Amino acid sequence: MTTWQRGSSEAVRSLITGIRDTRWSWQETDVEELCRRMGWVLLEAIDGKGAFADAGLGVPGDEIRMLAGDGHINDISIQITQLVSDSGADRDRFIRDTFADAVDAGLAVLGEPTDRQHTEPPTVRWRLEDSTVLIRNLESAVTVTWASNRFQDDWDRIAEALE
C-alpha cells in the first residue's frame, strides 16, 4: 500500500483557526505581512500574478498558491495533501478520509457550513464576515481555499451563468 502525505489533523485545524482569526486587506502588497502573521514561509511573489508559500504542513511542493488580479489577492489555495496521481481504492480512501477530517476541523472551528456541494468537486463552504472558506475534494488532492467574499461572489455569479 502506498503512503501519501497530508497535513496532520491538528495542523489543518490550526490553519483553519488562523484563517478565522485573521483579517487582512486582501491587497497584493500585504502578502508578505500575511505570511508572517500566519507563520507561512513566502517562497515567491510575482507582481500582478500572485505568490507561493509553504504553510509548514509537511506536504511536498508549494502548498499555498495565491492568485492575484488588479492589485488584490483573490483567493488562497492551500493544498493539505500531496498531489496523488495514482488511481484506485487506496487513493480514493486517502482523499475521502482526508476530506472528511478537514471538514470535521472546519465544523469544530467555524461551526455549521453555509453550503455543501455534493457534485464534482465535493465542497463544503463557510461564509465569514469578509471571506469564504472552502474545503474541496479534488480527487487527486484536498484543498482549503480562502477567498475574499468579493472574489467568491464574482466567481459564483460566473458559475451560475454557466449552468
- For residues 144 and 80, is the Cβ–Cβ distance under 8 A? yes
Domain spans of the chain? 9-162
Q: In 3-state terms, what secondary structure has residue 65?
A: strand
Cα–Cα distance for residue pair 75/63, rounded to 1 Å = 14
Collapsing DSSP to helix, strand or coil, 145 comes out as strand
Say what the pLDDT of residue 62 is. 62
C-alpha span between 52 and 66 (Å, rounded): 6
Q: What's the whole-model pTM score?
A: 0.93
Q: Measured between alpha carbons, how far is 87 from 24 in angstroms, rounded to an integer? A: 39
Strands 142-148 and 131-137: antiparallel
Give the pLDDT confidence of 56-112 residue by residue, as tens digits: 998 876 689 999 999 999 999 999 999 898 888 999 999 999 999 999 999 999 999
**Residue-wise pLDDT tens digits, 107-155:** 999 999 999 988 889 999 999 999 999 999 999 999 999 999 999 999 9
CB-count burial class (<10 Å; 0-12, 13-18, 19+) for 159: exposed
Q: CA-to-CA distance for 73 and 68, rounded, in angstroms? A: 4
Q: Report the pLDDT value the prediction gives residue 110, as an integer from 0 to 100.
A: 97
Q: How confident is the model at residue 16 (pLDDT cuts 50, 70, 90)?
A: very high
Instruction: Report the interhelical angle of 89-110 vs 9-21 (nearest 10°).
Output: 40
pLDDT at 160 over 90: no
